[in-house]
Structure 1
Amino acid sequence: MVRRLYGSAELQERLGVSRARVVQITSRPDFPAPFDRLAGGTVWLVEDVEAWIAVHRPHQARGVNPDEA
């Protein structure tokens, strides 16, 4: 089973926000808990983050924008 992960850089790209904004978003109590904290930074499971996006940023949910397919 392949686990897909998002790090800070992937979150920046996925959400279209700055590094500082990623820190703010990932510090929210409703943001998913990290999958792991590595020497290179914190990582989150893609499916957890995508579920959060579907609830908290539905305009960015996968499948809403045809350009994201």
Structure 2
Amino acid sequence: MTSPDPVELWTTADIARRLALTQERARQLANSEGFPVPSFRHGRSRFWTIGDIEAWIAEHRPVKTGQEDQRTDRRD
């Protein structure tokens, strides 16, 4: 029997790094209306799936004209 693939979860610190924000600003976003509900909580810590966060980013933080999107700017 194989075990299911573990789901990678992000904290507000991970979200801050992904969006190039301070951790405080990431916490503010996480508390705002429309932000995904955490998938898991442990004590006071909240955790989100990467998919939920990336979907929110795609909808609410589109790349502005003239900015490079580092996620798709791969030169293999």
State the TM-score, normalizing by the size of structure 2. 0.73
Opposite residue 13 of structure 1, the aligned amino acid is R
Alignment of 1:1-69 (within 5 A): 1-39=5-43, 41-59=45-63, 64-65=69-70, 66=73
Opposite residue 30 of structure 2, the aligned amino acid is T
Decide which structure has the larger Cα Rg and report it: 2
Q: List structure 1 runs of 4+ shifted beyond 2 angstroms.
A: none
Q: Which runs of 5+ in 2 are unaligned?
A: none
State the TM-score, normalizing by the size of structure 1. 0.80
RMSD: 1.9
Structure (1/2) with the larger helix percentage: 1
SS in 1 for 2:63: helix
Superimposed CA distance per residue, residues 3-57 of structure 1 (whole angstroms, 9 cap, x where no aligned partner): 1111121111001111110111001111000011113711001100000000001
Opposite residue 7 of structure 1, the aligned amino acid is T
